[in-house]
Amino acid sequence: MMEDKREMERLKSRLGAESYKKLIRIDNPELHHFIAKYVELCNPDMVFVSTDSPQDIQYIRTEAIRAAEEHELAVAGHTVHFDGYYDQARDKSNTKFLLPQGVNLGTGMNAMDREEGLKEIHDIMRDIMRGHQLYVRFFCLGPLKSEFSITAVQLTDSGYVAHSEDLLYRQGYEEFVRLGQSARYFKFVHSAGELDDRKTSMNIDKRRIYIDLESETVYSANTQYGGNTIGLKKLAMRTAINRASREGWLNEHMFIMGVHGPSNRVTYFTGAFPSLCGKTSTSMLPGETIVGDDIAYLRQKNGRIRAVNPERGIFGIIRGVNSIDDPSIWAILHSPGEIIFSNVLVTAEETPYWLGSNEDPPQKGINHSGEWQHGKKDADGNDITPSHPNARFTLDMHLLNNLDPNIDNPDGVVIDGIIYGGRDSDTKVPVEQSFNWVHGVITMGAALESETTAATLGKEGERKLNPMSNLDFLSIPIAKYIENHLAFGHITNPPCIFSVNYFLRDTAGNFTNAKIDKAAWLKWMELRTHQEVEAIETPTGLIPKYDDLKRLFREVLNKDYTREEYIKQFTVRVAENLAKLERVEQFYRTKVPDTPAIVFTVFEEQRQRLIKAREEQGDYIEPDTHA
């Protein structure tokens, strides 16, 4: 007791009267001890405890600019942040789980001994905040006062990180006050470390992102890039997936959107897509409404699956955003409002330029490499692009004109459809429904593949298996993850499961559909969840009838849809589907110990359907010829 009193006295002296008063309003001694521990270890010059008040939030935005972590741009509310030249993406090699002896997460998980990792990260963080200001932040992952939600405390010495989280997450100080000692919160400790003249992290060789699942704490040091530092995003996914597995719910890498059907009906879908496969463009389709673009918490309630978005903002890749394909986002990014641009090019007019916009590229400006001009190369002789390919924008979703009114509903939204999408040039049809929950989880979710592109991801056409588009963030064995999904559908009314593929090509290498066609596929899926259109059964799933798509293309897109297009898109490619089954099954047999037996049973059933269909109708089965 005496030691606790001394600790609080030391904490009071470090925080100052005002911040200490804010902290002790939260009746949670464990939280106080956590903060005291890392104030002593990291040793900042100042500590600022932030409440939910507009004044505290504005203070952090002002400090980010004062400390030159952000710079104001020409449009009111817009700022720009630059990460270090070699600190532009998630550091996968140094992102590790800290596991006690005897705990194994399975193949492919980057892990190390817990005690060894804690010693290393604490050594790195000793005095790391000297000369910096520490911000103590409180957030809520999910709507306030909701059984879905998780409170979180973030300690960071980066004004940019603290400001970003104000835009991305719901303020949680009052939730901590309300919950007091009953709060079960995630903990995050981050320091950008020693900074150079551009206020970017210097000691990249000591960049570490360690996740301690036992205490649900994430440590991040010597980095500023959002994916390594904004702990409540993908880093929190690891702790949340682990907690969800223990408690019987799901944390998924999915958007949540409302699809608007007949008679003003709104049907909610979630969707999982690997990068560059159409996830954002689907969730932002004109005429529909968005609940979330990236992460979903799903729970079973009264025989249905409901979902919430743990975030309230978007930390989006800005490359390729243009006025033609993304009119809503484009308009927002050019209008007054609180937006952080990161690693774009800043022109002489103090406006941002990014790769893939439909504006003429400037010849010079300021970017992540410093002063930039066309033809500039780095130390290795590589061309430096005007903006970084992974440049981002951060904004509060309340800037969107298509925000769904249920964004903050504490009960979430009922999910009637789940979509899995990948980049597939030669196998899967544009849209297909599974026969049932188990078939969908296994052949569409667990078997989700995507092809790389030559321009961005390495060797063109290389297929990567990414179960439920969540492989990078799993904190449980893959086999357990699939078991959880299979069990999750044991309810009265499980959602329909669909797959989509916007990248199917014909024999000449041309795409078989236009980018905007996804709007028609989505409307068909909405009708299927209400059993208002029939479908054709194929060996791999249920596909649309031509007449239904013809009508939807006219109603939704005001364009003709020919039978020739339909046949080209929805012909079942038997050999390619069999090859996919072989690839995916080989992965689970060789890389995933303890794969549930039902996975191989479902694969074999699909294989036999395909073989039988080939014997009767050949390798290419047109949609109108299915028995």
Overall fold of domain 315-399: Phosphoenolpyruvate Carboxykinase; domain 2 (2.170.8)
Containing 479, the helix (H) or strand (E) segment is: helix 478-488
Least confident of 95-104, 151-160, 273-282: 273-282
pLDDT tens for 484-509 read 999 999 998 999 999 999 999 998 99
pLDDT tens for 372-426 read 999 999 999 999 999 999 999 999 999 999 999 999 999 999 999 999 999 999 9
The 3-class SS string of 12-44 reads: HHHHCHHHHHHHHCCCCHHHHHHHHHHHHHHCC
Q: Is the dihedral of CA 334, 338, 344, 346 positive or negative?
A: positive
Mean pLDDT of 97-109: 87
The residues facing 272 across adjacent strands are 420
Q: What percent of the chain has pLDDT over 70?
A: 98
Tokens 């208002």, located at residue: 532
Same topology, domains 2-68+93-247 and 251-312+407-625? Answer is no
**C-alpha to C-alpha distance for 304 and 415, rounded to whole angstroms:** 8
Look up the pTM and report it.
0.94
pLDDT of residue 526: 98
Mean pLDDT of 447-460: 67
Mean pLDDT of 361-370: 95
- For residue 555, give the DSSP letter: I
Least confident of 159-163, 351-355, 459-463: 459-463
The 3-class SS string of 112-178 reads: EEHHHHHHHHHHHHCCCCCCCEEEEEEEEECCCCCCCCEEEEEEECCHHHHHHHHHHCEECHHHHHH
- For residue 516, give the DSSP letter: G
Active-site pick, 42, 140, 277, 496 = 277
**C-alpha to C-alpha distance for 294 and 299, rounded to whole angstroms:** 17
**pLDDT beyond 90 at 553:** yes
Q: Domain boundaries in the chain?
A: 2-68+93-247, 251-312+407-625, 315-399
pLDDT tens for 588-600 read 999 999 999 999 9
Residue type, 355: L
**pLDDT beyond 80 at 279:** yes
Which of the four pLDDT bands, split at 50, 70 and 90, describes residue 457?
very low
**C-alpha to C-alpha distance for 614 and 576, rounded to whole angstroms:** 12
**pLDDT beyond 60 at 329:** yes
Closest CA to 346 of 369, 376, 377: 369
CATH number of the structural domain 251-312+407-625: 3.90.228.20
CATH of 2-68+93-247 given 3.40.640.10, 3.20.20.70, 1.10.230.10, 3.40.449.10:
3.40.449.10
Token digits of residue 208: 């570490």
Which of the four pLDDT bands, split at 50, 70 and 90, describes residue 454?
very low
Mean residue pLDDT of the chain comes to 94
**Catalytic (active site) residue 277:** yes
pLDDT tens for 611-621 read 999 999 999 99
Token digits of residue 387: 């903006």
pLDDT of residue 230: 92
**How many CB atoms neighbour CB 615 within 10 A?**
9
Closest CA to 542 of 485, 452, 609: 609
